[in-house]
Amino acid sequence: MRGLKGKVAVVTGGAQGLGEAIALRLSEEGCIVWLLDVQNEVVQTAENISRATGNAVFSSRVDIADETQVKDFFSRIASQHENVHILVNNAAAFLFKGVEASPEDWNKILSVNVIGTTLVTQNCIPLLKRSGSGAIVNMSSVSGFIGQSQFATYNATKFAIRGLTKCWAVDLADFGIRVNSVCPGYIRTQAFENSCIALGLDIEGENKRVSDLHILKRQGRPEEVASAVAFLASDDASFITGEDLMADGGYLAK
């Protein structure tokens, strides 16, 4: 991808799954990558990626729902880098409830998926502005387009991410900051397997069921989503903002 080498990128939810794949791809493209995650494993993930690519990859254990932790992180990164060029808002909580969802359920998922994403973006914007041509990539989902039984809590946040993407694209255009979202279909990650377990579903049976929902008849791979993110972060997408890029194997094409 054009224009990624040497750029500073922040990836939230980077300990595993999509976040890990995105960080690996950006590092392979020559970015200086910072991984944020609430999980301690983020440290080892950063070390593994740095060793694999030979490029600098840093990590920080941050709960993006905690405003103080987010502010402290960006104060620290500002002391080490003149600016940030790329922000990937990938961190998400997975909570699947329908109309019965309690206020506590809503607070739990909104605090990460919507408020946490907003906190990270707000605190990163001053560093993105300094770059003069920043890129924000938000992670939405096919679930941000459709209704699904017992998915109200999760889907609502993914609809919200798409709305934030378009509003922020308008707000930040004058600063040369582009804002887009990537909307994956079902991707075979640890998060997918954890969700199956939480819902009491057989993992392999659910894999077959959701694979058949895509016209390509398979689940996506994390690296395929990472390619979409890298494209939107790169100069190859310099005239693209406020858009949703589907990485869904044709899930919504039917």
Catalytic positions are: 154
243: CB partners within 8 A, 6+ apart: 180, 181
Say how many C-beta atoms besides its own lie within 10 A of residue 36's C-beta: 27
177: CB partners within 8 A, 6+ apart: 125, 128, 129, 133, 134, 135, 136
Give every strand in the sheet of 32-37, ordered side by side.
57-61, 32-37, 8-12, 86-89, 135-139, 178-184, 244-247
- Angle at which helices 203-211 and 190-198 cross, to 10°: 110
Show the DSSP H helices in 54-189 as ranges. 67-78, 103-110, 117-131, 152-172
For residues 66 and 62, give the distance between their C-alpha atoms in angstroms, rounded to a whole number: 8
| Beta-ladder partners of 114 | none
Q: What are the Cα distances from residue 166, in Å, to 97, 122, 136? A: 26, 15, 11
**Cβ atoms of residues 233 and 4 within 8 Å:** yes
Query: What is the DSSP-derived secondary structure letter of residue 235?
Result: G
86-89 and 32-37: which strand pairing?
A: unpaired
